[in-house]
Amino acid sequence: MLRHLSDPHREIIVATFFGRRTTGEAAELLGLAPEEAKARLYEAMRALTSMVATCPCRRPGPVPRRSPVSFASVWRAARTSAPGRGGRRPSW
């Protein structure tokens, strides 16, 4: 999706996110004023967000999630299957 962005937008995203720089450092690297870099990053993120929202590869509907596993349920399972309690130890 990044290749569909304009060059200035792609440059600022690559400099900040992939380069792990602050917007100030990216502005210095690209020769921009810090305010201009912030504005350009904001515009780039809005463009990228709209691309992701309208992407044909996205499945309609919510993404199915696994049921949450609580720490307590894992702890109980590990305690009841401990040696001496008639069960097997968990492999993890």
- Close Cβ partners of 28 (under 8 Å, ≥ 6 residues apart): none
pLDDT at residue 5 tops 70: yes
Q: What is the pLDDT of residue 78?
A: 65
Q: Domain spans of the chain?
A: 2-53
3-state secondary structure 1-65: CHHHCCHHHHHHHHHHHHCCCCHHHHHHHHCCCHHHHHHHHHHHHHHHHHHHHCCCCCCCCCCCC
Q: Please tell me the distance from the alpha carbon of residue 90 to that of residue 78, in angstroms, as a whole number.
A: 6
* pTM for the model: 0.60
Mean pLDDT of 60-81: 64
Q: Which fold has domain 2-53?
A: Arc Repressor Mutant, subunit A (1.10.10)
